[in-house]
Structure 1
Amino acid sequence: MTSRLSRLAALASQAANVILFNGQADETISGRAWREGDLHGEPVWRGRRVLIDRLFWTLARQPDHCRESHQRDVEFALLILAD
């Protein structure tokens, strides 16, 4: 089970993805940066992914933050579909 703080951070990222980038409500900015930047080759999102990953490495020593965030977004979507 994820912590309340972790879920609130994901909620804030999802809201920012919608408000700032006109994205999907159930996708975090980090997950989108991985999907659009690395999977789809969008240069702007690849740059954002690099910046986000560097930030999370610096603050939390978390490598591959965006890839892991994308994976969590996918797992959450699969949970919703399973219900």
Structure 2
Amino acid sequence: MAITPVNAQGAIQVIYTKTGGPVIYGHLAWATTSSDDYGSPDIYMSAGNTYYHTWPTWVGPGYVQGVIWTDRYGRLETPYVKVT
């Protein structure tokens, strides 16, 4: 997850590298402790590839997490990252 800059118009980027297993269908997303997920379009993801999506947004202080939604495993999430 990449977040730049804080307290200004910036971007949040979620990056996922699939290292093994079957092809999955789903999307990348991010969330705060007080918001729903902000998701990318659904895509097929296969082993050996890296996927990312960038959302232009106002980046304020707080906590954010990266999320991947899949047809096989549901919602998988990273721990929250503190943005200051």
User: What's the TM-score, normalizing by structure 2?
Assistant: 0.22
Pick 1 or 2: higher relative contact order, CA cutoff 8 A, min separation 6: 2
Larger Rg: 2
Q: What TM-score results when the alignment is normalised by the length of structure 1?
A: 0.22
Relative to its length, the structure with more strand (as a share) is: 2
